[in-house]
Amino acid sequence: MRATHTQLAGYDSVTGTKRCTQKQMILDLFYSTHLTLTRQEISERTNLRLSSVCGRTFELLSEEKLVKRGTQKCAATGVDNETLGLPVEVVA
């Protein structure tokens, strides 16, 4: 079965809205430039699947709304995980 142009446009509008809502949920967590979170922590706080968080944070990093701010060692696995945060503005 082939999807019609109207069906595809409808799907794109729904998934596009969902992506924007998820991105806003993630951004709303960062109330301060001092706060950094791993993708796993973002997933736990928003109840979004980790795969969704990874996709949305990639987009937010590309848009420079979030930046990589360091690493944090996972207590369970010992693996270093990137921490993300809001960009810090430099005042000269």
DSSP tag of 48: -
Residue 89 has pLDDT above 90, yes or no: no
Question: Domains in the chain, please, with CATH?
Answer: 19-85 (1.10.10.10)
Neighbouring C-alpha atoms within 13 Å toward the C-beta of 14: 6
Phi, psi of 57 (to 5 degrees): -70, -35
d(CA 47, CA 41): 10
In angstroms, the first-to-last Cα distance of the chain is: 60
Query: What is the tens place of the pLDDT at every residue in 8-60?
Result: 555 555 555 566 799 999 999 998 889 999 999 999 999 999 999 999 999 99
d(CA 38, CA 75): 13
Query: CB neighbours (10 Å) of residue 60?
Result: 19
Higher-confidence residue of 3 and 62: namely 62
